[in-house]
Amino acid sequence: FLPHLVASLEQVQQTYIMVKPDGVQRGLEHYKDLKAKPFYPKLIDYITSGPVVCMAWEGVGVVLSARKLIGSTDPLQAEPGTIRGDLAVQTGRNVVHGSDSPENGKRETALWFKEGELCQWTPAQAPWLQE
Of 53-61, 94-102, 110-118, 123-131, the window that binds ligand UDP (rule: CB under 6 A) is 94-102
Closest CA to 103 of 17, 35, 14, 29: 14
Q: Determine the interface stretch with Mg ion among 6-14, 92-100, 107-115, 118-126 (rule: CB under 5 A).
A: 92-100
Residues 6+ apart with CB under 8 A from 113: 54, 56
How many residues sit in the footprint of ligand UDP (CB under 6 A)? 9
**4 among known catalytic residues:** no
φ and ψ at residue 72, rounded to 5 degrees: -65, 155
Annotated binding residue 84:
yes
- Binding residue (CB under 6 A) for ligand UDP from 73, 76, 81, 126: 73
Does 108 bind Mg ion (CB under 5 A)? Our answer is: no
Question: In terms of DSSP H, where are the helices of the chain?
Answer: 21-25, 40-47, 62-70, 83-87, 102-112, 126-129
d(CA 76, CA 90): 7
**Which residue of 61, 64, 65, 100 would you call a contact of ligand UDP, by CB under 6 A?**
100
- Cα separation, 13 vs 34, in Å, equals 23
In the set 56, 96, 97, 100, the catalytic residue is 97
Residues that bind ligand UDP (CB under 6 A): 34, 39, 43, 73, 91-92, 94, 97, 100
User: Which amino acids are annotated catalytic?
Assistant: 97
